[in-house]
Amino acid sequence: MDKKVLIADQINEKGIDELKDIAEVVPNFTISNEELLKVIKDFDAIIVRSRTKVTREVIEASDKLKIIARAGVGVDNVDVQAATERGIMVINAPESTSITVAEHTMGLILALSRKIAIADSSVKSGKWEKGRFMGIELNGKTLGVIGMGRIGSQVVTRSKAFGMDTIVYDPYITKKTASELGVTVVDLETLIKESDVMTIHVPLTPETKYLISKPQFEMMKENAFIVNCARGGIINEDDLYDALSTDEIRGAGLDVFENEPPKNSKLLELDNVVLTPHIAASTSEAQRDAAIIVANEIKKVFKGISPKNVINMPVLDPETFNLIKPYFALIEKIGKFMIQTAKGNINEIDVTYCGELSEFPKHDILTRMILQEVLNPILNEPVNLVNATTVAENRGIIVTEGKRYDAKGYKSLIKVEMKSDYNDVSVEGIFTHQQPRIVMINGYKVDVEPEGTMLISKYKDKPGIIGSIGTKIGEHNINIAKMQVGRKELGGEAVMVLKVDQIVPEFVILEIKKLEDVHDAVAVNL
Ligand code: NAD
């Protein structure tokens, strides 16, 4: 066997067995970093959990290393950047913990509904307080699931076994996925108001930070429970404490905290909380599955088949890289623009490469880059050039790529069209004078440098509307730096792009939308 795999942290035996027919497997679960530096040059792959640190130094000391595999989800102990620079794949097993976390979620829900944790400490303290621990049944109750990814979907399946009615809030899932899982998709406010139990399964992003705070607790049913096995910081813990201590809600189950461990948290004083130390993913089955998944991924690579869970990007050959590099900045801006203007689940993304660019090789890299920009802000798993197409496919997004010789008078042009449940967005961009520019938005001709904060409004083309939008912005002390207007016909619908010096808050957008003859407004930050 010419391939050698180093197993640097203890993983499940089944993962090791998977590899034995294809490679020489060297388990060394206590290897030190100094030893690793000496031996790494002999290995084609290394498997770690969280003990071993695969640093830049280790990566640079390697010679034929092709894969760094993390038998688990997070890759904090691997220098992914250094690996990418050396063309070494970093793979993980993101799906290995989904069932485990879903089961823990159900565990917290049951612990809350039947007061198991507090009843347990009461019995252990010698008491027999049968009357104190009256619980509630889950049967017939409404479960609200925020985030319907890998873990959220597993929770939904399990909640059905408990006879719960399930509603879901996830603006990014397709109708097809929702109907396959047989769930009702609602908006966040409806979910909050109607849930007897609310459970969170979204990544922590700027959009989900403090997603559940005072106003949301005020909307919740008095008897509702909330559970968070996702990430600390999605729930505002001070507001949660207030809601729990004033009986605004019935209870909370938390596996994750803003600061871990939550040493001085006031939540520790309360009876109506059940807390676990970030162990939702800790089961032997999850560890076994992680080991088997990464072993199979390594086998695929050794056999020349593309693995599924690569989290870094491949190195392009220099010639292709130089040809397409100028378009990276344009693609990044178009992707960011699209995801900030799309409403609801994305169903379709069509990319057309026009002019000279249509003759270049490796368009798929640019398309993947758009998918990366569009999907990364909404998913927990890192989306990169290697897995972007698979992730889009798994989410039911239809991606098409086209080529057109005509580039409307430009040397090259990229057109991206995105269809979501509630709107279609189309953007055309060029790269000129070393700068990306957006030249068309939804069929309206513009010439915009995609940089900074913009307010995009659609309105009826008639005197006074531009002024009323400008006045509204001025009222809130927001300075306009530049203005661009596009229209198809006199008196029809027009689009205005205002470059502004400050972020336009959501309440100002709402006020603009209410102005007469304004059809839509959205703020975009590029
Ligand atoms: P995933 O990427 O498969 O799914 C995330 C889902 O959230 C996606 O469907 C996405 O569309 C949705 N989403 C994104 N932004 C949203 C928003 N603003 N509102 C509503 N929905 C939104 O992720 P996953 O593997 O299911 O993981 C979910 C969470 O669980 C993550 O935060 C992850 O870090 C956490 N997690 C915790 C543990 C633990 O030990 N407690 C273990 C594994 C994962």
- CA nearest neighbour of 230 among 201, 198, 199, 262: 201
Q: Three-class SS of residue 460? A: strand
Helix-, strand-, coil-residue percentages of the chain, each rounded to 5: 35, 25, 40
How far is the C-alpha of 240 from the C-alpha of 198, rounded, in Å?
13
- Residue pLDDT, tens place only, 242-270: 999 999 999 999 999 999 999 999 999 99
Q: Ligand 1: which atom is nearest the Cα of residue 234?
A: 32
436, β-bridge pairs: 431
The CATH 3.30.1330.90 portion of the chain extends over 320-525
Q: What confidence score (pLDDT) does residue 352 get?
A: 95
% of the chain residues with pLDDT over 70 = 97
Q: Ligand 1: which atom is nearest the Cα of residue 211?
A: 18
Burial classification of residue 404, based on how many CB atoms lie within 10 Å of its CB (0-12 exposed, 13-18 middle, 19 or more buried):
middle
- CA nearest neighbour of 341 among 181, 493, 525: 525
Question: Is 307 a pocket residue for ligand 1 (Cβ < 6 Å)?
Answer: no
Average pLDDT over residues 184-200: 97
Strand blocks (E) in 139-204: 142-146, 165-169, 184-185, 197-200
Question: Is 391 a pocket residue for ligand 1 (Cβ < 6 Å)?
Answer: no
Q: What confidence score (pLDDT) does residue 314 get?
A: 56
Topology (CATH) of 320-525: 60s Ribosomal Protein L30; Chain: A; (3.30.1330)
Q: What confidence score (pLDDT) does residue 318 get?
A: 63
- Residue pLDDT, tens place only, 100-156: 999 999 999 999 999 999 999 999 999 999 999 999 999 999 999 999 999 999 999
Token pair in block for residue 343:
């409403």
Q: What are the residues whose beta carbons fall under 8 Å from the beta carbon of 277, sequence distance 6 or more?
A: 255, 260, 261
User: Domain 97-275: what homologous superfamily?
Assistant: NAD(P)-binding Rossmann-like Domain (3.40.50.720)
Topology (CATH) of 4-92+285-312: Rossmann fold (3.40.50)
The answer to whether the peptide bond before residue 261 is cis (omega within 30 degrees of 0) is yes
How far is the C-alpha of 18 from the C-alpha of 117, rounded, in Å?
40
Mean pLDDT, the chain, integer:
92
The CATH 3.40.50.720 portion of the chain extends over 4-92+285-312, 97-275
State pTM to two decimals: 0.74
Q: In what order do the strands lie in the sheet with 346-355?
A: 398-404, 346-355, 412-420, 424-432, 435-441, 444-448
Q: Ligand 1: which atom is nearest the Cα of residue 208?
A: 18
Q: 31-40, 117-126, 263-272, 503-512: which range is least confident on average?
A: 503-512
Catalytically active residues, by annotation: 231, 260, 278
pLDDT(161) > 90: yes
Q: What confidence score (pLDDT) does residue 54 get?
A: 97
Confidence of residue 487 (pLDDT cuts 50, 70, 90): confident
Q: How many residues does the chain have?
A: 526
% of the chain residues with pLDDT over 90 = 73
From 50, 73, 170, mutation site for ligand 1 pocket: most ligand atoms within 8 A of C-beta: 170
Q: What confidence score (pLDDT) does residue 215 get?
A: 97
CB–CB of 498/451 below 8 Å?
no
